[in-house]
Structure 1
Amino acid sequence: MDRTKKILVAIAVAAMAGSATTPAVAGEGQNARAAEVTPAGGRGKCDHYNSSSRPFRRAPNVAVGVSVNVCISKTGGNPGTYYATTRTNWYGGFLIPGVKRFDEFSVHLRLEKNNGNKQTIVCDLTRDINTHKWSNGTARKCMQDGYVGSAGGWSSDGYVVYDYDGDGKGDRKWQLKGSPAIN
């Protein structure tokens, strides 16, 4: 197990040991180009994805591990309808009442064909990650509208823009592992 995964597991275990279960609540994402921020589920199963995980730490108000799956899926024949999706989970050690973890935490998702951008959306998870200690096993899903196209070379890619509350350093970028390509 690599160091990042060990840290995420340790944060999750500490969070579960330290408090009662928090109910999962659907996000109220700010929409950009038909973005949805909802508990995971919905259109189709996603077998084609890559996962990125990392801890976020900044004393005194941030100690949270985040995992994001970047997925590509298809419905129909040829042409088919292609969907880019992310599923985001977090495992936090604590929440301080009235104190935010982040000023911004948003997922930027691209649907690509042969590495050329076809659609981009932004899903704002700031409210959810600041309000809920952890995602409680219910990932927040970000999904763009379906894009109809011919087979071959479809994938999804993305990154997270985050800004720790009150650190004065502004936005930072975390590049996510893109999905494998499908036909």
Structure 2
Amino acid sequence: MLATVAILAGMMVFTSPAHAIDERDCSDMQHKEFATPGTNVDLYITLCVWRTGSRYDAEAFGEWWDGGGVRKFDAFRMEVRLEKNDAAITYNDCNYLSAVNSTEHSGFTCGTTSATGSGSGWTADATVLYDLDSDGKGEYFWDLTGSPKI
């Protein structure tokens, strides 16, 4: 990945990659509390898009709290998209079901493959798909607010 995130005392700290980023923009941190068995799970996500030369990348950085203990979800994954003018150019599907069901707290990074292009209108966007354990209601979708355009 081009950038990493460290979780320090509940704060996300972004570190720069080894090569220079020409342009970058990120969404505000987004939060959702899931009404899960046992303690509710809290999820925090920031979406970033950046350009290095003619290469564009998108990533979601985040963390969850209060996972583990008992089974929380039957499905828990995120689709991150690199979009240009709201059309998906490339995407990645990251599955966190096992991790969130077994780990109380963890950080994560889910990024797309790079795309080559030019012009403006590039954004990072994402959807979280989740299915609460034993609620009998199937899958839900949380559409996040995308990053600002670069």
TM bucket, shorter chain: 0.7 to 0.9
The answer to whether the Cα contact below 8 Å between 1:104 and 1:163 also exists between their aligned partners in 2 is yes
SS of aligned partner of 2:137: coil
Whole-angstrom distance in 2 between the partners of 1:43 and 1:108: 23
Indicate the residue corresponding to 1:101 in structure 2.
72
Indicate the residue corresponding to 1:83 in structure 2.
57
The CA deviation at 1:165 is 1.2
Whole-angstrom distance in 1 between the partners of 2:95 and 2:81: 15
> Number of aligned pairs?
135
Indicate the residue corresponding to 2:11 in structure 1.
none
Aligned 1:11-30 pairs, distance under 5 A: none
Deviation per residue, 1:137-176 (Å, 9 max, x gap): xx20001111010131111111100001111111001111
SS of aligned partner of 1:130: helix
Aligned residue among 103, 115, 122 for 2:86 = 115
Indicate the residue corresponding to 1:73 in structure 2.
50
Aligned residue among 82, 95, 101 for 1:130 = 101
The CA deviation at 1:131 is 1.4
Compare the two structures and name the one with the higher strand fraction: 2
Whole-angstrom distance in 2 between the partners of 1:53 and 1:179: 15
The answer to whether the Cα contact below 8 Å between 1:61 and 1:95 also exists between their aligned partners in 2 is no
Cα–Cα, structure 1 residues 170 and 43, in superposed 2: closer, same or farther, change >3 Å? Answer: farther
The answer to whether the Cα contact below 8 Å between 1:159 and 1:175 also exists between their aligned partners in 2 is yes
Compare the two structures and name the one with the higher helix fraction: 1
Q: RMSD over aligned Cα, in angstroms?
A: 2.2
Cα–Cα, structure 1 residues 43 and 121, in superposed 2: closer, same or farther, change >3 Å? Answer: farther
Higher relative contact order (CA 8 A, sep 6+): 1
Ranges in structure 2 where 5+ consecutive residues have no aligned partner: 7-14
Q: Percent identity?
A: 30
| Higher Rg | 1
